Amino acid sequence: MLIKFIDAKTPLSIQVHPHDHIAKERHNSFGKNEMWYIMHADEDAEIIVGFNKELTKKSYTEYLENNTILEMLNKVNTKAGDAFYIPTEGVHAIGAGVVLAEIQQTSDITYRIYDYDRIDKQTGKKRFTQ
């Protein structure tokens, strides 16, 4: 188990973690379930937990390619004292203005879905994976 304190000044990347079977098969590692306890949230601060509608692989890819994936994400307004369980394979992100305690399984396996068009300084390319 690993406990982190995260102070998000800007929105953090939208990501997902594989379950144990996929993590073992592809990375010889474990999956990662998380639990978030909101310690502070600015007014109108939000987190992302899942999608707001069903997506197929094709429609998901189209939203990514059209740079409209944010339209499909389930945004939840949050406040101090809220708690969220983020299971493996659950799309999630921490929004700007949120300070939280994250209790998680120890795993470094993260698939970044979208990172607000930020550019990786080393590669010069957008920071995301599909």
User: What amino acid occupies position 113?
Assistant: I
DSSP-derived secondary structure for 49-87? EEESS---HHHHHHHHHTT-GGGGEEEEE--TT-EEEE-
Q: How far is the first Cα of the chain from the last one, in angstroms, to the nearest whole number?
A: 27
Angle ∠(101,128,52) on CA atoms, nearest 5: 65
- What are residue 15's phi and psi, to 5 degrees? -145, 170
Does residue 112 carry a catalytic annotation? yes
Name the residues annotated as catalytic: 112
